[in-house]
């Protein structure tokens, strides 16, 4: 089989780094780019190059912002007694879309994953503690993925911050997807749903 020209192949390998993009899709995207007008390609290249500088993390909470202080830290109407710990700035937008949270956020850089060499020192617990002190936080909401890494990190936070007086630590409930039927739910999800049952 004829190999792709070198630059096209390296574009494909960049695109393959995107979540959910396999070799075939990456190749399709790469050929699509080749067909774009060069002005569009240049605009995209500029945008990508300047992205880290133009949309940096908020110095206080780590959420992404193009305005210095992020909209959550800058808004005095947000409830500063609630702090939601997330593992990606993207999660703040997902939670905001629910319109059911009015507190502030704190982004940790990584979930704990000892196997990948991501250890507790990278969590910067001191920064979370500073937020708790500064804003007299009363509730810490841990909103991590339902994965081994998410569980490990949540437990670590609970262990190290849980003894603070007047601080309640909660974690998102994991349960049945809305509209789901029990027979199609996998065992792990059902176990969690059972463990997190609520009286009604």
> Residue 59 CB, nearest distance to Zn ion (Å)?
8
CA atoms within 13 A on the CB side of 196: 13
> Residue 84 CB, nearest distance to Zn ion (Å)?
12
> Residue 66 CB, nearest distance to Zn ion (Å)?
12
Give the C-alpha separation, 169 to 27, whole Å.
46
Which positions from 75 through 134 interact with Zn ion, judged by CB under 5 A? none
> Residue 60 CB, nearest distance to Zn ion (Å)?
4
Which positions from 63 through 82 interact with Zn ion, judged by CB under 5 A? 63, 70, 73
Cβ proximity to Zn ion, 12 vs 70, nearer residue: 70
CA torsion angle 101 102 108 110 (round to 10): 20
Q: Edge-to-edge strand order for the sheet containing 79-86? A: 103-107, 79-86, 139-142, 168-171
140 within 8 A of 85, measured Cβ to Cβ: yes
Binding letters toward Zn ion, positions 154-183, x by CB under 5 A: ------------------------------
Contact residues toward Zn ion (CB under 5 A) are 58, 60-61, 63, 70, 73
């Amino acid at each position: 089989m004829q190999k792709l020209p070198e630059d096209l192949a390296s574009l494909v390998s960049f695109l393959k780094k995107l979540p959910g993009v396999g070799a075939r899709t990456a190749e399709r995207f790469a050929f699509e780019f080749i067909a774009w007008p060069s002005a569009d390609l240049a605009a995209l290249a500029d945008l990508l190059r300047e992205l880290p500088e133009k949309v940096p993390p908020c110095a206080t909470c780590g959420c992404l912002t193009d305005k210095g202080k992020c909209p959550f830290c800058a808004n005095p109407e947000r409830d500063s007694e609630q702090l939601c710990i997330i593992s990606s700035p993207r999660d703040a937008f997902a939670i905001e879309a629910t319109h059911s949270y009015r507190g502030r956020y704190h982004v940790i850089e990584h979930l704990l994953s000892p196997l990948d060499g991501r250890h507790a020192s990278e969590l910067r617990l001191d920064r979370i503690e500073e937020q708790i002190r500064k804003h007299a936080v009363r509730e810490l909401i841990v909103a991590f993925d339902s994965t081994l890494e998410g569980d490990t990190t949540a437990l670590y936070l609970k262990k190290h911050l849980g003894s603070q007086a007047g601080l309640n630590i909660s974690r998102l409930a994991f349960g049945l997807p809305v509209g789901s039927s029990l027979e199609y739910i996998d065992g792990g999800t059902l176990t969690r749903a059972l463990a997190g049952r609520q009286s009604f």
